[in-house]
Structures are given as C-alpha cells and as structure tokens.
Amino acid sequence: MLISLARVFTPSFIDIYSDFGVEKPKRQSGGRSAQYEPTRTGYYWNDHVMPENNAIEKFNYDSEAADDYIKAGFGVVNTHIQDRIVRGSGSLIALNNEGGNDKRVLEAKSGQYFSFSRSNTSNQSYPSSIMGSMALLRQMYYDADWYAKGNIKTKDLSLEALNSNKGLVQIFEAGSRLNDLRADKVGDLFNIQYVILGGGDEFERIDDIKAMNASMIIPINFPDAYDVENAYLAESLSLEDMRAWNQKPSNPKVLSDNNIVFALTTHDLKSPKEFKGNLMKAIKYGLSKDKALAALTNLPAQILGKSDKIGSLKNGTQANFLITSGDIFDEKTVLYENWVQGAKNVIEDMGKKDIRGTYDFSLAGESYEMKIKGELSKLKTEITSDGKTRGSKITYSDDWVNIAFTTQDSTKQEFVRIVANVDANKNLNGKAMFPKGMETSFFAKQKESASDTKKEDDDEEKDKEDAVEKVSTISYPNKAYGFKELPKAETILFKNTTVWTNEKEGILENTDVLIKNGKIAQVGKNLSDGSAKVIDATGKHMTAGVIDEHSHIAASSINEGGQNSSAEVSIEDVVDDTDIDIYRNLAGGVTSIQILHGSANPIGGRSAIIKLKWGEAANNLIYNNSPKFIKFALGENVKQSNWDSNSRFPQTRMGVEQLYIDYFTRAKEYDALKKSGKPYRKDIEMETLAEILNKERFISCHSYVQSEINMLMKVAEQFNFNINTFTHILEGYKVADKMAKHGAGGSTFSDWWAYKYEVNDAIPYNAAIMHNAGVTVAINSDDGEMSRRLNQEAAKSVKYGGLSEEEAWKFVTLNPAKLLHIDDRVGSIKVGKDADVVLWSDHPLSIYAKAEKTIIEGVTYFDLKRDEQMRDAIKTEKSELINDMLKAKNKGLKTQPIKKKEKELMHCDSE
C-alpha cells in the first residue's frame, strides 16, 4: 500500500472466477424420452464435454455488471461459461469501461475449466451422477492421450481442444469439501493439479484439504442467520445448518492458518455488492488483512500466471489501483476511485466533505441532536429530541443535504423536511419545512466529527465483534453426534458374558473376551490383563458386528443410470462420511457394510466396502485391500418397467441376457488384446469387466425371479466365471439347488414382498430353503431403516423356516463376511480377527435387545451412555445458537427463513 495525503493506494482486486459477459445458458426442458446419444458429430461422444468452447467467442462486455465489480473494488475478472463438465477456455478481462476489447482482453485463453455438473443445454442422460462425472473425466483423459498419439483415425475436435489447452491453468469447480477431494483425486491420476473452487466448508477437515496441495478459490457467501422467532419452526433446524451459520465465516482464516494458497471470489454471491460485507466478516473472524488483500490481488495473479501484469503496483504492471480514504479493509474507509488500465472510475468524490459526526440544532423552540453515520455514499441519520428518537432519512451530494424526519406525533405519517448546504466547517445552512407548509431557516452545527466519535463507535463495534467471534467447536463429522475428539482404540476386557463366536465353539456362556490393539486377543474363562479397561458384561451377549451386504447409506450418489452399463463408476469415489445413518446403524450393532450401486442398469457400478468408523474421513472408512465388487441387476428396474421413459435397451429379460453376452464378449476381446502386448485404447468399463472374467472382481447381482437368476448363472458359466452373490434373490428358493451347484451365495430380505409384480412369489422362507440347500445365505437391508435392526431380521429366519438361532445369527455376520470375502478379518469372534464386536443388552436375536456398545477395531464408536450425554450437549448447543440467531436478528442483520433438513432414504432405485 502506498499512502499519500491520507489517500491510500492499493492494487485493485481480481475476481478469478466469474461468468462476466458470458451468461450461463438457460436450462432446456427435457423431451418425452431420454436422450442417450450426443447431439453432434466430429466431437467427443458426450455433450457434457465441450473443451472446444471458448468464452472469448461468446464474450460481450457488460458495462452494467462491470460497474458493480468496479464499485466493489475489482479491476480484472477472469470469466468462463459456467456450464458443463468440461467447459473449455476462459478469458481474463480488465474492467475498462472506456477502451474496447482490444485493450480489455488481457488473455483470450486464461485457463481451462471443469466441474461435476451436467450441461443445461443437453439432455444426454449420461452422466447422471457425480461418480459418473468422475468416470467420464477419467475416460476422457485416457482418450485424449490415445488421440494425441494418433491412434484414432476419425476427427475429434473436443479432444484436440482439450489437448491444446493442456498448458493453461486448469480450474475445477468442486463446490464442497467432499467434492474438492474428489476433483483432486481425478487430477492426481493424470498428474494434473487443478486449481479448485471450494465450497466454504473446507475448515471441517482442513488436513485433508491441505494434503491436496492445491491452490484454491474460495467463495464467501456466508449464510444469514435463520429466522428462529417461531419456536415450533426453529425446532426443525438441524445443528449442522446452525453451525454452518456460526462457523463458515471462519473458513478463510482456517485456510490461511494452514498456509493454503487461495484467492477469494464473488462467486455464489448474488452481486459483487455483497462482497465487502462478507469480506469484513471473514476478517472479523480472524482472516488477516494482509492475507485478505493477497487473496484478492497477487495470489489470483500468481494462480493465473499473470503476476507480471496484474495484482501488484510495481513498474510494468497495469495501472489498476484503488484510492481510498484509509486502510482498505476498515469499515469506515471510503473507496474514492478505482483505476483500471489507467482509466479513472470515480466511486466517491474525493473532495466530498465527510459530514459524519454529531450536530445540534433547534427548530420551533425544540432542540435536537442529529448523528450522521454510515458509509459516506450511503449515510444514515439518528435524530433525537427529548430523549426520543425520530424516524429520519438523509441524502447527500454536491455539498447539499436533504433530510426528512418524523414529527413528534407518531400516529401521523408527517415529516419535517430540511434542505441545507454544507459549508467549509461542515455546518449545515438552509431551511426547514413543516407539514403544514410553514418554513423556517435552518442551521446545524457540527459539535463532533466522526473521528472524534470514533472511540465510542469502536467500543460499540467491539461488542459486536465479540459476539460473532465465538465460533463453535467443530466435530467429526460436523453435525449432531459428531465427535469433538475422535475416540481411540482401547484394550478392553469384557467379563462373564455370553459369546456368540460363530466358530465351532458355538455360543459360550460365562466367558471373557479381551480386545487389544484393535484385534480380538483372547476368548476364554478367567482372563486378565493389567492394562485393560474391565467391563462387567454379566447377563449380556457379545457378538461379532453386524455386516450389511446391501446398503445405500453413506454415499453422495447411488445410481449412474445414464447408460445400460456403468462398470466404469465406483461408489468408492462418492462415500459420504457425514451421513447420520452411519451413526444410527452403529446404534443397531452394524460395523461393516457394502455400499452397492443401485439397480438402474444391468451392469451397475463398483461397490465400496466400508467400516462404519463414524468421525473418520471417507477414505478411512473403505477397507484396506478391499475385495473388488460390482453391482449387476436384473428384472423390472433394468428393463425400466416402472419408469416413464422406455427407450433404452433392454426392455425385456430376453434383452438383458444378450446385453451381458455382448459386454462380456467385448471384454474378452479387449482383455486378449491387452494381454497380447499390442497397443490398445484404455477403456475403464472394459477393464472392470475383464477383472470379472479374470476372477479378480466379484458380482453382487440384484435379482428376483427364477428365470433370470438361472440365466445369469448360465451366462457366467459360458464365460468361465461365477456369480459370487445374488442379492434380493427373492425366488432363490426355486433354484436353490442350481445356486448351490454354481457356488452362488444369496443375500436376501427377511420378509419383503408385494411391492412389485416380480416379488409376487417372494416368501419369507426363502433364506431357510436356500440355506438348507447349501447356499451361503445372508439377510440384508437395502434400507437405512431396516439396516439398524438387522438382528431382528435375522431372527425372522427362526420364525419362518425354523432355522437354529446360531445359524440365523450368521445370516447377518459371518455369512455376509464370507460373501464379501472379508471373513478372514471380520464376521466371528475369533482370536486374531478385527475387534469388531457388539455388546447387546439381551439375546441378540430378540426384539428386546439393544446394542449397548458397538466397537470397531477396538474403538468404541457407539456407546449407549455416551449417546445420552451427546443428546444433552446437542440440546445445549442448539439453544445457544438459537439465542445467537435471535440476537443477530435484533441487531437488524438479515435472516433467512427456516428450512427443514431431510435425509433421503436411498434404495436400489434411488438416483
């Protein structure tokens, strides 16, 4: 900053992320039937990938929008078309209202842009999920490389553009903490370091963000307080949303404390007009002024590789600077001028007298005090007489003020109007007009200028600051029931309990279990360990943790239904560590789940097999060396029987068979070519299917009627592999002998039926019949509600079909572990296995049993007693935050109406 004559010079700001002059295209309404093909030729096969788009070709300088930016202190904006997954190049524009584009365009191609969001201009159905977007990006990079090497004979202008934009800065709109990491993950595979547009929630797991080593672009659209005056409605607010209000303004500070390079943007704000207020808030919450300035000047310049031209005031850089009355980040500072490329934009007349301060005047025998305050461009008045405040308004320009204030009689809407000239001593001279038309002369003397009253105001402001600076502690995840400190693995000795081993020892009474180093260390009588926390478990039951073979909780998306095969997508890309159903499942004794892709297509996506380590980040939930699985599906869902659209192959079970034969034939050819050592086009979908052929990846297939179950086994046998698991498998009992012979397991519902035509013959005896025929049987949920009661669902196999209790219990523990190929680690209480155990209050198959402790690898992730303490803490924190929000509203801050948080219950057919 250069300071001269109480005028401060600062480089004008740069907004690195905008759509200035290139409006986002409007959404088109969909046609009657789904569109599976692209709308153009000579380009990439997917309409959501258009790297050939160049913002500069659509660019129209918008001087009205430019004025808003200029008034907010910006001199240069970086702009691109904010539509599609691959968006093409953007341009760097100086906000020079006088020159033409010849001067303004600093760089026609300043960067290449990406996102996870589909285009508004095309209804091509793929990709329909974030994991689909990730897979599409990966395949595109493989294809671009293959194309660059000259292996594709036909023309692809998209890939050509993508390759030629390679040297530019690559900017990715991620938009949330989870998506930041997902974008970075895609880039890492191809040695591309994206600059990532975040979501403002990065502070929630800052270490993971830091580990990306990416430069970031951070929006500051901090949420307004909720209007909590209506107590009934306020109860619908979630702690998570309330904390967002309280904590988000601290995001820039946390990023800065962790030395993450970031630029600030007006993106996500309704208008650049809101920028200063939010920025001041970020500063109040601890972002240093130096860092704030850097994030608006030299850092965006550096990210764009334009430090030689913009972002600083030194010889040779453009004459883009701001002239202010003082420290640019001081609330009271007046922005006088914003110079861009040497062209002057006057925001506020520098010669304008600062009339802010306190005045005295008397009119018609009454004496008044008037305070003039606020921003010089937007003054406010406070007029009091006899200790009572009058409603008042002021306008001020060219040394003249107009003031209106209400008369004493508050029942009437009558005003006293004043027009007065400001003299050299900032005194006001003019006349006053009364409601009845009487006029009199007016004189008001300034008794204190704003600088004199500063101290008092500062104190006032300091109070305000203190109020907002109390940021509530984050937890993992950052919502109700999150841990403020992650629980640690313990050595625990459970004494004198009934142990369901799931091993040849069977059910052991009056037995001790020692867990140590995350493993089951000893099972026996009279155990002791000096370092162990001893828990008397008399009268209780201990089992291995429940395993759900078929779950759809803890994922940001479930179906990639845009194509009839989506083998290229993976649920591992979209695990959501914040899903409250993780915690609720723990409360039902569940420790491991397979998050399966949905059933929108015959070949679905790859699974994530996770442990419910509530509080850990998504990546730490996924099993180490996880067995590889993929979801297949048969029947009504894949033939779209219950959909509005029905133009996709296959529409019948006949077609489903041929689809599999087609894909596996191609995969076989692909694999043969790959193994031959000859060059081949890398195809993620075919890679995945080849893993199945090579017995490296297992199938869990959603299935209902006997014909299709039989068919898929025959297709597999034709290609020399096995179907590992049939899930749902409601008519498994009709072909149980064939399944046993093929070696397929069955993971079914205990008693669901009658919801679709294909479950007309589903019977609750299914599990027992399959088991008796020698099939490995599991009971699964496919439902976030049922999954927390899987012990009860297992018990139904005792009722329906008369299974022994010991075998029934294995249906939700050891057997799903076997089906998932994790039975060497979990599924039974055996020395050396992971200490994934549950302590039940009662017989685990009983409707009267509650999980008291759910432990994974020695860490107690659910504890009934701790849960009760958490409930109290949640209530206390919520009432404090509600109180703070009421205060905010009373202070006159903007509020937003309450919305109710709702968690979608995901099933196979969820999007």
Please identify, among the stretches 92-100, 386-394, 611-619, 769-777, the one whose residues bind another protein according to the rule CB under 8 A: 769-777
With left for phi above 0 and alpha for psi between -120 and 50, is residue 861 left, alpha or beta?
A: alpha
Please report whether residue 806 would count as binding another protein according to CB under 8 A: no
* Angstrom distance (rounded) from CA 320 to CA 96: 10
Q: Residue type for 151, please?
A: N
Look-up: residue for tokens 């502690």?
473
* Among the listed residues 441, 415, 447, the one whose alpha carbon sits nearest the alpha carbon of residue 363: 441
Give the residues across from 443 on adjacent strands. Answer: 429
Question: Minimum Å distance from CB 301 to another protein?
Answer: 36
Tokens of residue 909, six digits: 């057919």
Give me the least distance between CB of 606 and another protein, in Å please. 27
Cβ–Cβ under 8 Å, residues 866 and 855: no
Ranges within 3-32 binding another protein (CB under 8 A): 27
409 touches another protein (CB under 8 A): no
Residue pair 527/536 in contact by the 8 Å Cβ criterion = no
Q: Which is nearer to another protein, 693 or 794 (CB)?
A: 794
**Phi–psi pair at 583, nearest 5 degrees:** -65, -45
How far is residue 462's CA from residue 158's CA, in Å, rounded to a whole number?
55
Judged by CB under 8 A, the residue of 386, 398, 409, 902 near another protein is 902
Euclidean distance between CA atoms 560 and 45, whole angstroms: 17
Q: Nearer Cβ to another protein, position 239 or 416?
A: 239
Give the footprint of another protein on residues 470-499 (CB under 8 A): 479-480
Using CA atoms, how far apart are residues 673 and 520, in angstroms rounded to an integer? 47
CA atoms within 13 A on the CB side of 885: 29
Taking CB under 8 A as the criterion, the residue among 424, 755, 890, 892 binding another protein is 755
Taking the complex as a whole, the smallest distance from the CB of residue 119 to another protein amounts, in Å, to: 15
Q: Which of 80, 103, 102, 106 is nearest to 92 (CA)?
A: 106
Q: Using alpha carbons, select from 69, 170, 153 the residue that is nearest to residue 113.
A: 170
For the CB of residue 582, give the shortest distance to another protein in the complex, in Å: 11
Residues in 338-397 at the binding interface with another protein, rule: CB under 8 A: none
Of 31 and 305, nearer to another protein (C-beta) is 31
CA–CA separation, 137 vs 146, rounded Å? 14
Binding residues for another protein restricted to 64-103, rule: CB under 8 A = none
Closer residue to another protein (CB): 236 or 288 = 236
Minimal distance, residue 903 CB to another protein, in Å: 6
Residue 889 touching another protein (CB under 8 A): no
- Nearest residue (CB) to another protein, 291 versus 853: 853
> Closest approach of Cβ 315 to another protein, in Å?
50
From CA 555, how far away is CA 533, in angstroms rounded?
35
Interaction between residue 761 and another protein (CB under 8 A): yes
Taking CB under 8 A as the binding criterion, the range among 32-40, 378-386, 414-422, 780-788 that sits at the site for another protein is 780-788
CA distance 650 to 640: 8
Rounded distance between C-alpha atoms, residue 157 and residue 744, angstroms: 47
C-alpha distances out from residue 869 to 379, 578, 861, Å: 50, 20, 14
Residue 160 neighbours by CB under 8 Å, 6+ apart: 52, 147
Choice from 117, 402, 772, 910 touching another protein (CB under 8 A):
772
Rounded Cα–Cα distance for residues 81 and 100 (Å): 21
User: In the complex with another protein, which residue's Cβ is closer, 46 or 129?
Assistant: 129
Interface region with another protein, contact rule CB under 8 A, candidates 138-146, 378-386, 449-457, 734-742? 734-742
- Least distance from C-beta 792 to another protein, angstroms? 6
- Pick the closer one to another protein by CB: 238 or 651: 238
The residue (of 168 and 873) whose beta carbon lies closer to another protein is 873
> Which residue, 416 or 762, has its beta carbon nearer to another protein?
762
Q: Which of residues 222-251 bind another protein (CB under 8 A)?
A: 232-233, 235-236, 238-240
Q: What is the distance between the alpha carbons of residues 403 and 417, in angstroms, rounded to a whole number?
A: 6
Binding residues for another protein, rule CB under 8 A, total 71
**With contact defined as beta carbons under 8 Å apart, do 861 and 614 qualify?**
yes
Q: Is 736 in the site for another protein (CB under 8 A)?
A: yes
Q: Which of 798, 886, 893, 910 binds another protein (CB under 8 A)?
A: 798
Out of 499, 535, 546, 580, point to the residue binding another protein (CB under 8 A): 580
Q: Which of 52, 83, 581, 823 touches another protein by CB under 8 A?
A: 581
Assigned token pair, 330? 């001081």
Contact region with another protein (CB under 8 A), list: 187-195, 562-570, 686-694, 791-799: 791-799
Among the listed residues 223, 277, 374, 764, the single contact to another protein using CB under 8 A: 764
State in angstroms the smallest separation of the CB of 202 from another protein. Answer: 22
Judged by CB under 8 A, the stretch of 12-20, 81-89, 182-190, 778-786 that binds another protein is 778-786
Helix (H) or strand (E) holding 132: helix 130-148
Name which of residues 657 to 716 contact another protein (CB under 8 A).
none
Residue 641 lies near another protein (rule: CB under 8 A): yes
Contact residue for another protein among 351, 386, 848, 890 (CB under 8 A)? 848
Q: Which is nearer to another protein, 555 or 786 (CB)?
A: 786
Facing residues of 745 across strands? 725
d(CA 761, CA 770): 15
737 belongs to the binding site for another protein (CB under 8 A): yes
Nearest to another protein of 466, 806 (CB atom)? 806
Q: Is 647 in the site for another protein (CB under 8 A)?
A: no
- What is the separation of C-alpha 288 from the centre of its chain, rounded to a whole number of angstroms? 27
Cα separation, 701 vs 730, whole angstroms: 12
Q: Is residue 753 involved in binding another protein (CB under 8 A)?
A: yes
d(C-alpha 693, C-alpha 668), whole Å: 7
By CB under 8 A, which span of 66-74, 301-309, 757-765, 818-826 interacts with another protein? 757-765
Q: Does 540 bind another protein (CB under 8 A)?
A: no
Is residue 781 part of the contact set for another protein (CB under 8 A)?
A: no
Looking at beta carbons only, is 156 or 581 nearer to another protein?
A: 581
Binding of another protein by 849 (CB under 8 A): yes
Q: Is residue 266 within 8 Å of residue 241, measured between CB atoms?
A: no
CA 267, 272, 275, 277 torsion: positive or negative?
negative
| Closest separation in Å from C-beta 736 to another protein | 7
How far is C-alpha 485 from the chain's CA centre?
22
Residues 855-884 binding another protein (CB under 8 A) are 867, 871, 874, 878
Task: Count the alpha carbons within 13 Å of 873 in the hemisphere toward its beta carbon.
Answer: 15
| Beta-carbon count within 10 A of 900 CB | 10
Q: In a 3-state reduction of DSSP, which class is residue 92?
A: strand
Which residue from 591, 622, 705, 712 is spatially nearest to 659, judged by alpha carbons? 712
Piece of 174-182, 183-191, 758-766, 809-817 that binds another protein (CB under 8 A): 758-766
Query: Is residue 276 part of the contact set for another protein (CB under 8 A)?
Result: no
Binding-residue pattern over the window 444 to 463 for another protein, x denoting contact by CB under 8 A: --------------------
Q: Is the peptide bond before 650 cis (omega within 30 degrees of 0)?
A: yes
